[in-house]
Amino acid sequence: MDNNVYPGTSSLAYAFIGGIAIGCAYLMAPVTVYLIRTYGTHVTLIGGILIQTAGLILASFTTHVYQLFLTEGVCFGVGMGIIYMTYLGIPAQWFDKKRSIANAIPAAGAGIGGVIYSLAIEAMIENLGLPWTFRTLAFVSLVANLVSAAFLRDRNKATASRHMSFNFPLLRKVEFLLLLGWAIFGTFGFVTINFSLPNFAISIGLTAHQSSVVGALHNLGQGMGRPLIGLFSDRLGRLNVATVLSFVCAVFCFALWIPARSMAVVSVFAVLGGMVSGTFFATVAPVFVEIIGLHDLPGALSILWLVLVGPGAAGEAVAQALRRPALGAEAYQQVQIFSGMVFVAGGLCLWVVRGWKVRQSRGCGEAQGMCKEGMVVRETEREEKSVWNPMEMAREMVRCCRV
């Protein structure tokens, strides 16, 4: 956008390119489940790698912005989605007690890779130009992904995972709907911060180089924070940590981001916010396993990612619409308030789910025939009402225990 490669293109249009890539990635969830069931993990993964690489290479030859929508938006997003959805449930298949840290370490790769990309892309564009930047990224990602794919192993047969494109009966469960609410709000918050922070830095008078450093610091925070989130989740409880950190991120938005007017304060928020803003992505698989069980995870995640198409695709566009450039240094105030409030809403959704889990673990485990993975063998209407009794739920929400 700053280099005016595609003249006349608005910031909102650029925002939609990233949004389309995320939306297409989420749309690939049910398709990926079908491909894994039909062709296996490795064939599906390699197909996604080739599609993603093709998207980047084709983007290097674009001359109009609509071509960028099709290449970097649709093609790259489809490939990215297949890769991400293929790997997502695999760490949870290999671990039980250390499931959260096992899921968080790969998730931290997005943060570390983001640090490298944020600093390297600016230098490559200046020295190589945009076309060769795309081609370089394509080659690097191709090699890295193929090496990773060679070492990836699943346990689909051993865990009896049911690779259903959709598990619609889950939509009748209140706890699952609340998990979807947490996911929607968490995605809105993360996308808003992740894509708005570098531009916010420019709006308060920082240079383009400083804004790229801010973006790199935010990604560095993700790289440092996600393994720590996984570690504490295994020790203190997955629902406990995810709930608390949702509220903590809201506090950071209100207390640090809104008053930030210098490089120092913005950098502090970038690191601290990066450590907690991606809590959803670091804990999604372990949290869902806690609530719906490992064998139903593929079908549940397909519904989840389909629901997240809207927030993922429109998150940055919503932030751009809330921006008020005429206000100068306060142009992003509405964006900042929006980010904080969606994290509060997500935290509330997960807090209620935590209360449900505590109540279920204490009073309904034997009656509902719960096994180690939390799978419900049988339920009665009376038991369901007992679990969701408002007074009991309120009491369980504030009970201190490890869940």
Tens digit of each residue's pLDDT (9 = 90 or more) over 313-329? 788 788 888 998 888 88
Place of tokens 């911060």: 193
- 294 vs 306, which has greater pLDDT? 306
Domain ranges of the chain: 11-149+166-397
CATH of domain 11-149+166-397: 1.20.1250.20
Residue 89 has pLDDT above 60, yes or no: yes
pLDDT for residue 289: 87
pLDDT digits (tens, 9 = 90+) for 238-258: 999 999 999 999 999 999 999
Residue 331 has pLDDT above 50, yes or no: yes
Confidence of residue 363 (pLDDT cuts 50, 70, 90): low
Distances (CA, A) of 155 to 87, 89, 234, 381: 12, 10, 21, 35
Q: What is the mean pLDDT of residues 67-95?
A: 89
Q: What is the mean pLDDT of residues 71-80?
A: 94
Q: What is the mean pLDDT of residues 113-125?
A: 79
Q: What is the largest CA-CA distance in the chain?
A: 68
Residue 366 has pLDDT above 80, yes or no: no
Please give the mean pLDDT across all residues of the chain.
85
Beta carbons within 10 angstroms of residue 174's beta carbon? 13
pLDDT for residue 383: 43
CA-wise closest residue to 184 among 343, 32, 371: 343
Beta carbons within 10 angstroms of residue 360's beta carbon? 22
Confidence of residue 3 (pLDDT cuts 50, 70, 90): low
Amino acid at 149: A
Confidence of residue 139 (pLDDT cuts 50, 70, 90): very high
Residue 376 has pLDDT above 60, yes or no: no
> Angle between the 208-236 and 279-292 helix axes, to the nearest 10 degrees?
30
φ/ψ bin of 167: left (φ > 0), alpha (ψ from -120 to 50), beta (otherwise): beta
Of 18-27, 114-123, 277-286, 333-342, where does mean pLDDT reach its minimum? Answer: 114-123
